[in-house]
Structure 1
Amino acid sequence: MVQVAPDWIAVDWGTSRLRVWAMQGATAREQRQSEDGLTGLTPDAFEPALLRLAGDWIGPDGMDIVACGMVGARQGWHEVPYVAVPTAPPVAAAVRSPAIDTRVRLWIVPGMKQASPPDVMRGEETQIAGFLALNKGWDGVICLPGTHTKWVHVSAGEVVSFQTALTGELFALLARHSTLRHSIAETGWDEDAFAAALDQARSRPERLAAALFALRADDLLNGCPPDTARARLSGLLIGADLAASRAYWLGQQVAVIGASETAAPYVRALQLQGVPATVADGDRMTLAGLTAAHRAL
């Protein structure tokens, strides 16, 4: 339990889960989470989901709640328009959003959009803001691996451009719902297989579809171990991502933001291209960005 009443509540509302922190200034005193992500909620269910998880932190006088992520999407609690790049991550432009419970003073951080080529982000802008707050004057490219991996060019404190790849979503779909599901392990790893597949896809991305089916054929004909197939699948998809994002990471200072299990394959992939990467914890960056948003209220 929280020993001291929080000053405010930080919220990261993703597609599959909801995470909240009881904050005192910039310090998180307690964290909670639930499976109440965007995909399982209708717009009128967001407020009850938040109150179930963190309602006991809110006193009778009410509390500021600063949120990022899919809570501001079209299907979220309250749609908050995107802010166009180039611009600084818009944590200082959090939008006051309506709530039924008068104790809830909800602020939602806007996402970011790019007109050409068309692209959008929600949630990552807050992590970028947190990284820049903790790394003053940093210029380069930030990679944010995940369901939808982002490559973000940052200069002079602004997001100049960005590119999104469905790498993580493709991995999940192929490993769990395609014919490859019979050949891919849920866990396990083979570093050599990952590196070979990475190089294969990076150098010949046009052969990706054929290389993917070869994972199944190798299992049927040669009994390829499922953990090896898992690593190869990851290497193929990340290799294709690196090939498509080469203009972002080549010759640039690169930082990778994310949880260790999602960041590590990208860090290794970049190292294999001779690109060292600074690694930053995703939760820490999210909280730093939300703290910047709270300070700007």
Structure 2
Amino acid sequence: MHLVAVDWGTSSLRGALLDGTGTVLAEQGHPRGILSVPAGGFPEVFESLFAEWMRPEGTRCIISGMAGSQQGWVEAPYCACPAGLGEVARSIIDIQPGRIALVPGLRDEHAGVPDVMRGEEVQIFGAIALTGLRDGVFVLPGTHNKWVRVKDGRVEGFRTFMTGEFYALLSQHSIIARTLDADAPLDEAAFLQGVAQSDNGEGLLHNAFGARTLALFNRTPKAHLSSYLSGLLIGEELRTQSLKTSGEVVLIGSPALTQRYALAIGAAGVATRTLGAEATWAGLHALALIQHNPTP
């Protein structure tokens, strides 16, 4: 069995060709997120990118991410938490039966307010398969970060934090943007200073203004202010977590983001383990295996 595993997001998509054991045979990435696809254009885009991989008889494709949203190819309704690999596999939506299918996202509730994810659930199941950890906290940094509680291999629940989006807003569109370089490389000392400052009990709305006054009085070099602001925001996020009871935290995402979370969580005395794109491919392979060999 060959599996074409696709993570189709808002601004880009990634694909991998896997053999029956889950080994990656080839990978590709394109700036063809769902927002770039015209109405009714998903089949054409898919075939233009993956027709060669799909040619062998019996090849199947499973797609995760925003391609299953209301703005995507076909809407794949959310699964309610708690949810494990089996529940998600049973809720996969066929686009072309036996050939192309879409993974549903997950939905959780907090005091009557829904929370959702699309694509991250696959990364979590992949991380479980790769690490063997069936209990614990899994963190997926991004524009909208996910903190996920896993118990006995199932997603018990999760919370989303708009940390990445708030960083973009503050560093590009607020008064702070005039005094920092949003693209400056990470300065670990300034970052950890921001993390520590976030725990002063004054709140983010006050602490964020310090990114301006530190520049105003030349207390922090301009090249380090973006790291300080990033530390404030991630520290604010961590302030709401019970890290001391988490054990090892699994981070899944790009090196640039997981490095920052590893630093911040490490400063709290908690160990971390990091995974990248391999978690997505392992999760889609695990879902394909369950679909191929369903439990009676």
Q: Same fold (TM over 0.5)?
A: yes
Secondary structure of 2:99's partner? Answer: strand
> Which residue does the alignment assign to 1:3?
none
CA distance, structure 2, for counterparts of residue 261 and residue 217 of structure 1: 27
CA contact (8 A) 1:96 1:105 kept: no
Superposition map of 1:166-245 within 5 A: 166-185=162-181, 186-204=183-201, 206-222=202-218, 224-244=220-240
What is the CA distance between 1:140 and its match in structure 2? 1.0
Aligned AA (2:222): P
- Of 12, 15, 26, 1:17 maps to 12
CA distance, structure 1, for counterparts of residue 122 and residue 200 of structure 2: 33
Deviations 1:8-55 (A, max 9, x none): 211001121111112222111111111111333344222222222222
- Of 80, 92, 104, 1:95 maps to 92
- Of 150, 154, 167, 2:150 maps to 154
Give the gaps of 5 or more residues in structure 1: 1-5
- Of 92, 104, 113, 1:110 maps to 104
CA distance, structure 1, for counterparts of residue 186 and residue 34 of structure 2: 31
Deviations 1:81-121 (A, max 9, x none): 1111112144423523335xx9x821111111012342111
CA distance, structure 1, for counterparts of residue 110 and residue 60 of structure 2: 36
Secondary structure of 1:107's partner? Answer: strand
What is the number of residues matched between the two proteins? Answer: 285
CA distance, structure 1, for counterparts of residue 163 and residue 170 of structure 2: 11
Deviates more, 1:269-278 or 1:32-41: 32-41
Deviations 1:207-231 (A, max 9, x none): 3123223323333442742321011
CA distance, structure 1, for counterparts of residue 230 and residue 144 of structure 2: 14
> Which residue does the alignment assign to 2:280?
286
Secondary structure of 1:296's partner? Answer: helix
Deviates more, 1:195-204 or 1:265-274: 195-204
Aligned AA (1:11): V
CA contact (8 A) 2:79 2:91 kept: no
Aligned AA (2:59): M
Question: Does residue 270 of structure 1 match 2:265?
Answer: yes
Aligned AA (2:43): E
- Of 17, 27, 37, 2:33 maps to 37
Aligned AA (1:46): F
Change (3 A) 1:46 1:182: farther
CA distance, structure 1, for counterparts of residue 13 and residue 110 of structure 2: 31
Aligned AA (1:19): R
Aligned AA (1:196): Q
Secondary structure of 2:223's partner? Answer: helix
Deviations 1:217-247 (A, max 9, x none): 3334427423210110110100110112x23
- Of 253, 257, 268, 1:258 maps to 253
Secondary structure of 2:239's partner? Answer: helix
CA distance, structure 1, for counterparts of residue 171 and residue 50 of structure 2: 35
Deviations 1:138-183 (A, max 9, x none): 3111111111111111111111111110111111222223332222
Give the gaps of 5 or more residues in structure 2: 292-296
Percent same amino acid among aligned pairs? 36
**Runs of 4+ with deviation above 4 angstroms:** none
Aligned AA (1:82): Y
Deviates more, 1:60-69 or 1:112-121: 60-69
> Which residue does the alignment assign to 2:294?
none
CA distance, structure 2, for counterparts of residue 230 and residue 41 of structure 1: 33
CA distance, structure 1, for counterparts of residue 133 and residue 260 of structure 2: 27
CA distance, structure 2, for counterparts of residue 107 and residue 250 of structure 1: 40
